[in-house]
A and B are shown apart, each in its own frame.
Chain A
């Protein structure tokens, strides 16, 4: 997996580069818009991370030029501008996701992972499975072991999102965006409440808990035995 970061702040770029390399990605860095655009067109990447404010050529112009040529690699926009309508602007220009500075590395990683996965050719799945937790996507039925688990419609969507990103951190804001299409952070940890209800249904009566909270960031659904190594890596990267 190869990622290009176009970011003029060298410190930030180095930090992201290091973090992503530790998570198993190969990372290139371009420090200005023109170089970035050239590099994106000359090398095949799996994802681009583009800062909005760049010397020589700004982020949105890069994206518009790339998209204008039918470039379809997923792009994550980074911005210090923040807030709702700039997000809309960024997505309209052709970005696939938008992250406001300052952000946690874990959020960045989670979003990049999610973008790359979404972009990969998806085999049509009938079911999702993590250890003995299964979702039958056709029947919309959740089982753990032999037990059928009853979920509310939104709980089902939440769980499906987590299952599709199994082994990866999913942040609260990502869940809010995915499940309710709102991109703000309620002070009350409403998502925590929803997650704890799901957890009560899928984990409480079983030996191995699958749904974990990553403190300060979000949640991860995984098989602790299978993902042990990757799990540690994620947690360390967040610290």
Chain B
């Protein structure tokens, strides 16, 4: 499809065409009103002048009678200027044009229907029909049928003073104004369409980049992004950025899901292989009853490991779904941590670890108590799993100045390298150093899920040596 064809089909172009039409219409209305205003102004000005001139001549007539007036008319008629004014004295009954003063300048008036033969007689009739003291338009056939505007005033003795203005000039002006307006409207319309189309093309191009990006992603290239200019911030840039962020998030989730299934498959392969081998060898070699008990116990242990991995994954998914919010309550942090301290102090004693427990009174958390307990249990489990004898593990809870509640668990084990602080919350992520120890790599993922569920924050830092895990709940 040609570019033009494509543009013509777009809704953007149709919209810009509509706007162009509307805009041109408004411009036309504006220009029309300017035209009418100009026309009125010019007429007004001429009318005022007609009255003024008439008054001046009447003044003179009062002073110098008819002779003075005729002289004045002669002088006035010699005046140049635009528009051209006509002054004449005619008699009511002697409508012979030759007796008019000045005869050669008397306009030859005609109505629309006037024809050549009876022009003279018509003239007399027309002059007789001119209303007095009233400004009227007539066509002057002596001068190219141009319009002449006339004010006729009655003087004593049947004389009439005619002051007229030839409108050719002003007519020309108005005509030009009209033509200019037409041109302007055409130009405006053409430009609107042109600019509209250009804008449409730009928009179309940008929309096409979005479409192309989407197509690429559908085809499997998840890393594709919509190109965005850094410092620009119009709606399209904002839209593109939002879409890009959405794509980032999607990619992250996709990669996460892929990693989870890969890791799950990998983690399951080992115990399942062991189970298979065990059963296989049990089938081949007849085993004694005593051996069978061991065989069964080992197998159950492996299967329990698999089950606990699944349960942990399901738990995390369920927590992430937000469902546990149904079981929300406000509970005392101290009561909960007292319980945990009671449970773990014994473990610490057993392992030769110093248990350091301190908690402020009166702290409460609004949340799912079982999950919060699970959260701290997982952190404590980790601390105990990696701590050597003769080290210190501490559990404490305080209220900060901003009335947030901070629960801090610290140990003196091997800690977690700075660069891994974010990664350890990923499902199945295990530090190389921890691979040999028991665990499914989901404990901290569950911690993170519970933290997120409660709109809390978890922060890991170096205890030099060891790990400090700080969980902050909003006050």
Known A84-B327, A100-B311: A215·B378 in contact at CB below 8 Å: no
Q: How large is the interface on B (under 10, 10 to 19, 20 to 34, 35 or more residues)?
A: 35 or more
Whether the Cβ atoms of A187 and B327 lie closer than 8 Å is no
Known: A182-B339, A184-B374, A187-B439. Contact between A82 and B307, CB under 8 A?
A: no
In the complex, which of the residues B304, B327, B343, B443 contacts A88, with contact meaning CB atoms closer than 8 Å?
Answer: B327
- Chain B residues with CB below 8 A from A85, complex form: 323-324, 326-327, 368
Please give the distance in Å from B453's CB to the nearest CB on chain A.
11
Check if A184 sits within 8 Å of B346, measured CB to CB: no
Contact A84 B370 (CB under 8 A): yes
Interface flags for B314-328 (1: CB within 8 Å of A; 0: not) read 110010000110110
Contacts known (A82-B314, A183-B370); A193 close to B346, Cβ less than 8 A:
yes
Which residues on B sit within 8 Å (CB–CB) of A215? 297
- Are A239 and B297 also in contact (CB < 8 A) when A84-B324, A193-B346 are? yes
Shortest Cβ distance from residue B242 to the other chain A in the assembled complex, whole angstroms: 34
* Cβ of B346 to closest chain A Cβ, rounded Å: 5
Query: What are the residues of chain A within 8 A of B296 when measuring CB–CB?
Result: 239
A-B pairs under 8 A by CB, number: 76
**When the two chains form their complex, are residues A188 and B384 in contact, meaning their CB atoms are under 8 A apart?**
yes
Complex CA distance for A9 and B6, rounded to whole angstroms: 61
Number of interface residues of A (CB under 8 A): 26
A106 to chain B, nearest CB (A): 10
Task: Say whether B311 contacts A82, CB under 8 Å.
Answer: yes
Q: Which residues of A contact B373 (CB under 8 A)?
A: 182, 184
Q: Does B301 contact A (CB under 8 A)?
A: yes
Given contacts A84-B371, A194-B343, contact A187 B314 (CB under 8 A): no
In the assembled complex, B438 has its CB within 8 A of some CB on chain A = yes
A137 adjacent to chain B (CB < 8 Å): no
Whether A187 contacts B378 by the Cβ 8 Å rule is yes
A197 within 8 A of B: yes
A233: CB under 8 A from chain B?
no
Cα–Cα, bound, A233→B88 (Å): 143
Q: Does B347 contact A (CB under 8 A)?
A: yes
| Residue A10 CB within 8 A of the other chain | no
Within 8 A of A (CB), among B271-298: 292-293, 296-297
A180, A183, A193: most-surrounded residue (chain B CB, <10 A): A193
Q: List A79-116 residues whose CB lies under 8 Å from chain B.
A: 82-85, 88, 100, 102, 104
The complex places the Cα of A47 from the Cα of B318 at a distance, in Å, of 30
Q: Are A182 and B370 in contact (CB under 8 A)?
A: yes
C-alpha gap A41/B27 in the complex (Å) = 87
Chain B contacts for A216, CB-based, 8 A: 297, 300-301, 304
A238 / chain B contacts, CB cutoff of 8 Å: 300
Interchain CB contact under 8 A, B297 and A188: no
B43 within 8 A of A: no
Chain A residue with Cβ nearest B383: A188
Does chain A have a CB within 8 A of B377?
yes
Of B293, B346, B443, which one neighbours A187 at CB under 8 angstroms?
Answer: B443
Given A186-B381, A188-B384, residue A193 in contact with residue B301 (CB < 8 A): no
Interface residues of A in 177-192 (CB under 8 A from B): 180, 182-188, 190
Across the interface, do A188 and B315 meet the contact criterion of CB distance under 8 Å? no
In the complex, what residues of A have CB within 8 A of residue B370's CB? 84, 182-184
> From B324, which residue of chain A is reached at the shortest CB distance?
A85
A193 near B350 with CB under 8 A, answer: yes
Q: Can you spell out 30 A-B residue pairs with CB atoms less than 8 angstroms apart?
A: A82-B315, A83-B318, A83-B324, A84-B324, A84-B370, A85-B323, A85-B327, A85-B368, A88-B327, A100-B311, A102-B307, A104-B300, A182-B373, A182-B377, A183-B370, A184-B373, A187-B385, A187-B438, A187-B439, A188-B347, A188-B385, A193-B347, A193-B350, A194-B346, A196-B350, A197-B346, A197-B350, A216-B304, A239-B293, A239-B300
